[in-house]
Amino acid sequence: MNFGVIVFPGSNGDHDALHALGEVLGQPTRAIWHRETSLDGIDCVVVPGGFAYGDYLRAGAIARFSPIMGAVERFARAGGPVLGICNGFQVLTEAQLLPGSLLRNAELEFRSQWVRVRVERADTPFTSGLTAGEVLHLPIAHGEGSYFAAPEELARIEANGQVIFRYCDPTGEITPATNFNGSLNHIAGVCNERRNVVGLMPHPERATEAILGGDDGRRILESALSVAGVRV
Amino acid sequence: MSESNSATWLAHVYVTLKTVVNDPQGLAIADGLHTMGYGGVEDVRAGKYLQVRLRAASAEEAQRLAEEMSDRLLANTVIENYRCVIEPAS
């Protein structure tokens, strides 16, 4: 499977994603500079973490108008699998490829730590190898990850099953103590209505090898392979 | 986009969080003001203020363009409201 990792000025999770997909998963993987305008030959797009354009104005706001984003939007609207990680999630909400928005963390702190998230749905390209209800151990590193959607939109995405991951405790329970960034309904990741675009604040690409502290993230990335019929 | 008969305008763009959006920054600022002794402070909401100098044929056109820019980039209408005030640029 040919992965494309979008690189904006200020991306810093791009090399982690390139390593995880290219070295750990052993897939042909290409960095795609934001000035490019084509995704020809790409089967799966990853919008990585970082601080694209310095997060100026709003996280993801300026990146969303980068030349490559036209191709990403066409790819997504044609049903191609797109994964937005952390800042990439913010870019995809700004591009309106994903619902809602990500606000400053409730405690105003930048949080860099390992968290647990509960898989809510297995019917997306990035959770097909997972089971609804299971708990993943993943790192987060963000200052603006507090998920927000207007009440009617929140109700709609919940009803549609578009909430894919929620912050939880090690047993999968949703408790106030696990909602460290103030996300509505503990939301850590969502998908679009068509379910081919997924965004999440945790970093699966930083949890693909035991030496890094955990490899649960590898299963998220590997899920994309099974959808495309590719085997590792 | 600029036309020979166009003038330069200054758009003051005020971007504010919608009332349904929690504003931890505003709450922290309010806390600070209370600590300083401003007990009369009831609420603080933090927003953004931008100045956009632009060329347009009329004030109405400048207004339209500033609002379009706000819709598309300057504000995220999922979480923010905006207001544009146009004046001739000096």
- Is A203:A139 a contact under the CB 8 Å cutoff? yes
Q: Is the pLDDT of residue A229 over 80?
A: no
Give the C-alpha separation, A104 to A200, whole Å: 15
pLDDT-above-70 percentage for chain A: 98
Contact check, Cβ <8 Å, B73/A62: yes
Structural domain count, chain B = 1
Q: Is the pLDDT of residue B2 over 60?
A: no
Q: Is A191 a catalytic residue?
A: no
Assigned domain for B61 exists = yes
Angle at B62 between CA B59 and CA B65, to 5 degrees: 150
Chain-centroid distance, C-alpha A22: 18
Assigned domain for B1 exists = no
**Nearest-CA residue of chain A relative to B79?**
A101
Q: Is A173 a catalytic residue?
A: no
Contacts of B79 in chain A (CB under 8 A): 101, 103, 148
Q: Is A142 a catalytic residue?
A: no
Q: Residue holding tokens 């000035």?
A: A35
pLDDT digits (tens, 9 = 90+) for A210-222: 999 999 999 999 9
pLDDT digits (tens, 9 = 90+) for B36-88: 999 999 999 999 999 999 999 999 999 999 999 999 999 999 999 999 999 99
pLDDT of residue A232: 44
pLDDT digits (tens, 9 = 90+) for A33-59: 999 999 999 999 999 999 999 999 999
CB count in 10 Å sphere of residue A99: 23
Contact check, Cβ <8 Å, A105/B24: yes
Contact check, Cβ <8 Å, B74/A57: yes
Inform me whether the C-beta atom of residue B25 falls under 8 Å from chain A C-beta atoms.
yes
Inform me whether the C-beta atom of residue B51 falls under 8 Å from chain A C-beta atoms.
no
Contacts of A101 in chain B (CB under 8 A): 76, 78-79
* Nearest alpha carbon to residue B27 among A182, A154, A167: A182
Give the C-alpha separation, A66 to A44, whole Å: 19
Q: How far is A120 from chain B (nearest CA, A)?
A: 24
Q: B36 lies in which domain range?
A: 7-88
* Nearest alpha carbon to residue A149 among B76, B74, B79, B17: B79
pLDDT digits (tens, 9 = 90+) for A153-187: 999 999 999 999 999 999 999 999 999 999 999 99
Give the CATH number of the domain where residue B37 resides: 3.30.1280.10
CATH of A3-227, one of 3.40.50.970, 3.40.109.10, 3.40.190.80, 3.40.50.880: 3.40.50.880
Q: Where are the domains of chain A?
A: 3-227
Q: Is the pLDDT of residue B3 over 70?
A: no
Assigned domain for B26 exists = yes
Q: Using alpha carbons, list the distances in angstroms from residue A22 to A80, A223, B34.
A: 19, 15, 53
Assigned domain for B2 exists = no
Provide the H-helix boundaries in chain A: 14-18, 68-77, 87-94, 151-159, 216-227
* Nearest alpha carbon to residue A47 among A56, A60, A28: A60
Give the C-alpha separation, A77 to A168, whole Å: 31
Specify the 3-state DSSP secondary structure of A171. Answer: coil
Phi, psi for A62 (deg, rounded to 5): -85, -35
Of residues A227 and A174, more confidently modeled: A174
pLDDT of residue A228: 62
pLDDT digits (tens, 9 = 90+) for A56-94: 999 999 999 999 999 999 999 999 999 999 999 999 999
The enclosing H or E element of A153 equals: helix A151-159
Q: Of A44, A86, A168, A191, which residue is the catalytic one?
A: A86
pLDDT digits (tens, 9 = 90+) for A92-130: 999 999 999 999 999 889 999 999 999 999 999 999 999
